Amino acid sequence: MDYNLDALKYPIGRPQLPTGPLAPAERTALIQQLAELPAQLTAMARQVGGEGLQHPYRPGGWTGRQVIHHVADSHINSYVRFRLALTEDNPTISPYDEQAWAELPDVAATPITVSLTLLEALHSRWVTLLYHLTEEQWQRTFYHPGNQRQSTLDQALALYAWHGRHHLAHLQMLLPKA
C-alpha cells in the first residue's frame, strides 16, 4: 500500500491490541475514551459543517456523513458482541460488510444527528456495562470468523477505543483549511 494512502487511511496508525490482560488503569482510560466519543463526534461534525460532511476524507474513502453513520453501526455491533461474550461461551459473532452498510439508503437519507443521538445513548449503556465487569469477565472471548480470530473483551475494548479515535481523525481531515 502506498505510504501516503496508508497515512490517510490510518491517520493515528493501525490498532495495537494488548496481548495479555489490561491493568485496571488502562481499562479505565479506554472506557473513558468510549464515554467521551459521542460528544467529540458531535463537536467535530459541527466544526466540519454540513457541506464538509458530504466530502470523502481521502480519495476513495467514505464521506464524513458515512463515517458518522458507520461509527454508530460498528459500535452497535461491538456492544452486542460484548453482551454475547458475557452470556455465551466463546460465541462466534456475525461479521458484516461495512462498505455495503455504508451504501445503504438510510445512510444518505438519515440526518447524522440520529446516529449521534444513538451513539450517545448506546455509549451510556455500554460504558455502564464496562465499568461493572469483573477481572474474570474481561478475559471472556468471542470468535470472529471473518478474521479467524478469538478476542478477549480487553482486546475488543482497546480496538473500539482506537476505532473512535481513528474515525475522529478522519473527520478532522475534513475541517476547513484556514
* pLDDT digit string, tens, across residues 66-96: 999 999 999 999 999 999 999 999 999 999 9
Cα of 104 vs its chain's centroid, Å: 19
Does domain 22-172 fall under CATH 1.20.120.450? My reply is yes
Q: pTM for the whole thing?
A: 0.95
For the chain, the domains span 22-172
pLDDT average per 10 residues of sequence, the chain (178 residues): 75 95 98 98 97 94 97 98 98 96 97 98 98 98 96 98 98 89
Bridge pairing between strands 141-144 and 149-152: antiparallel
Q: What is the pLDDT of residue 3?
A: 52
Q: What is the pLDDT of residue 1?
A: 46
Is the sign of the CA dihedral 109, 113, 114, 115 positive or negative?
Answer: positive
| Number of Cβ within a 10 Å radius of residue 154 | 25
Angle at 62 between CA 171 and CA 35, to 5 degrees: 45
Long-range pairs for 1-9 at CB < 8 Å and ≥24 separation? 5/58, 5/59, 8/57, 8/58, 8/59, 8/61, 8/173, 9/58, 9/61
